[in-house]
Amino acid sequence: MELLSRIGSFFLLLIALGCTPEVGRVSTPVERVVVVGAGVAGLTAARSLDRAGIPVVVLEARSRIGGRASTIDVGAARLDAGGSWLQSVVDNPVAQYMDARGLDYVPHRYDSVLGWEEGVGPISAAELDELEDRAIRMFRDKSDLLSALGSDASVADGIDRFIEQKGYDEVSARRTRAMLRGVAELDTSGPAEVIALDHWYEESGLAGGDHLPVGGYRRLVEALAEGLDIRLGQTVVSVAYDDTGARVRTSSGDEFTGSQVIVTVPLGVLKAGAIAFTPALPDAKRQAIDRLQMGNLEKIILVFDQAFWLDAFDRDALVYMASKEGANPVFVDFTDDAGAPTLVAFYGGGYSRTMQSMEPATADPILIDDALAALSEALQRSVPAPVATHVTHWSRDPLCHGSYSFIPIGASPADHDALAAPVLDRILFAGEATYYAYNGTIHGAFLSGLREASRLGGARLEGIR
C-alpha cells in the first residue's frame, strides 16, 4: 500500500535526475563566500565550494548543525525530529552521496496499515485501498475540478466538489473527506482550505521506495560538515551588498565579508523579516516570499518499554480518522530503526496550526493524551504510559517558523523560482523552498545547495565526497 509513502504521495514518476543542476555562472569574481545557515542546503553548498578550493565560512544561529534535519534521543530511542525519510534511492543525489561516504540506509515499508474511524470502528484494508484510489482519481480529475471551480480553488474546495460529483453515501463521503484532507495536509503540511488545488501533487517523484538513514540524518549532516569552517551561535541579522561584495552582520556584532553570500535560511525566517537586506531585495523576490507559505507538519514521538501494539495487530502504521475535522494523526512504527519500541504520530494542517498556537506546556499534554486515546481505541486495549515522549515545535521555532514550504492559493511555482534567483550575482539563495521540483524534501535542499555552489564554480556531486 502506497498510502504512507512520503505520508501521502501516491505515485512516483521515474526520472533521470542529473547529479548537479545546470545553472549559469555569476559574472562577478568569486573570492570568499559566506553561507548563512548550516542546514542541508548550506552544508552542501559550503562543501562543494570548499572542495573546489574556494574559501567559505558557514554561519549558523543554532548550537548545532543540520537545521530541520535534526536527529534526537528520546529516552532510549534515536530518530529524526525533522525530515525522516530518504525518499526513494534511485537517482536520489542524497543516496548517491551517502553511498560514496559509506552511510547506510534501510527500507522503510508500509505494507500493512490499520484504519480506524473514531467512535465507529475499523476500516477494512479493502476500504483503505479504495480510499487511496479515490485520492489518485481526484488528482487525475484535477483539471476538471479546476474548470468547474476556477484557478483560485483550494484543495478543500476540490475535495467537496469531487465528493459531490461521485455521489457517495454519508459514511463513504465522510471517510473520503477525512482521507483526502489527511493526504493533502500531511503531504504539503498546509491546511486544505489554504493549499492551492492548481498545484497540488505537481512534485516530481523519484523511484526506489522510502528508506531511513541508519542512525538518522545526523550522520549525513556530520559528513557534509566535515572539515568546514562553521561558526555556531551566529544569528545573522543583516546582509548589505553592492557591486563590490557583501557584508554580513550577526546579533553578536560580528561582521563577515565575502564576494558573495548564499542565504539558506528557511522561508519562514525570510517571511518574518529576521534578516535586513540593504538595499532591499527586488520586488519579485519579496512578493514571492510573501505569497509562499510555511506548513505545520509536526510529530508526537512515543517511546515505550515494549512494543505492546504487536500483540493486538501486526501492522506498520495506523490511520486514525478523528471526529474533529483535520485531527487525523497517522501513527508509524519506527521500532526497528529507533533502537527502542517507538511510535510516531504525524499531524499537520489546520489542526496543527491550532495546537501550535498554544503554549507547549498546554498543548503537549493534550496532544500526547489524544494520541494515546486514539491508540487505545484502535487497538481495543489499554495502552501503557510511554517511558519517554517528545512533541516537535517547528512552527514555533523562530529559526524556521514551520516545517517546510507549500504553495497556497494565490501563489505558483514561479514564486519558488523567484525565491531562488540571485541578486546582483552577490546574494544567492538556497533551501528547500527555492527548489520547486522537490520543495519540502531533504534532497530538494541538497540539490539547491549544489545549484548555488555551481553558480560560483563549486565542485559537482561527484567531487564533494
Would you say residue 207 has pLDDT above 80? Answer: no
- The one-letter amino acid code at 1 reads M
Edge-to-edge, what's the strand order for the sheet holding 276-278? 255-258, 245-250, 236-242, 276-278
Would you say residue 385 has pLDDT above 90? Answer: yes
Query: Residues 338-347: pLDDT tens digits?
Result: 999 999 999 9
The pLDDT of residue 87? 82
The pLDDT of residue 130? 93
Query: Residues 411-448: pLDDT tens digits?
Result: 999 999 999 999 999 999 999 999 999 999 999 999 99
The pLDDT of residue 171? 93
Would you say residue 1 has pLDDT above 60? Answer: no
Q: What is the SS3 assignment for 190? A: coil
The pLDDT of residue 205? 53
Measured CA angle at 201 (ends 192, 151), to 5 deg:
65
CATH class of the domain whose range is 113-207+297-391: alpha beta
Would you say residue 12 has pLDDT above 80? Answer: no
Residue boundaries of the structural domains of the chain: 22-70+212-293+406-456, 113-207+297-391
The pLDDT of residue 326? 66
**Angstrom distance (rounded) from CA 115 to CA 285:** 43
CA distances from 236 to 130, 393, 443 (A): 50, 22, 25
253 CB-side CA count, 13 A: 0
Would you say residue 209 has pLDDT above 90? Answer: no
The pLDDT of residue 13? 32
Percent of the chain with pLDDT over 70: 92
Average pLDDT over residues 251-261: 98
Would you say residue 225 has pLDDT above 60? Answer: yes
The pLDDT of residue 208? 59
Only one residue has cell 530518504, namely 86
**Angstrom distance (rounded) from CA 7 to CA 321:** 15
Average pLDDT along the chain: 91
Would you say residue 203 has pLDDT above 60? Answer: no
Rg of the chain over Cα atoms, rounded to whole angstroms, equals 22
Query: Residues 31-47: pLDDT tens digits?
Result: 999 999 999 999 999 99
The pLDDT of residue 2? 44
The pLDDT of residue 96? 94
- The one-letter amino acid code at 392 reads T
The pLDDT of residue 202? 60
Average pLDDT over residues 75-86: 96
Average pLDDT over residues 396-409: 97
Average pLDDT over residues 147-172: 95
Question: What dotted CATH number matches 22-70+212-293+406-456?
Answer: 3.50.50.60
**Angstrom distance (rounded) from CA 298 to CA 186:** 9
Would you say residue 16 has pLDDT above 50? Answer: no
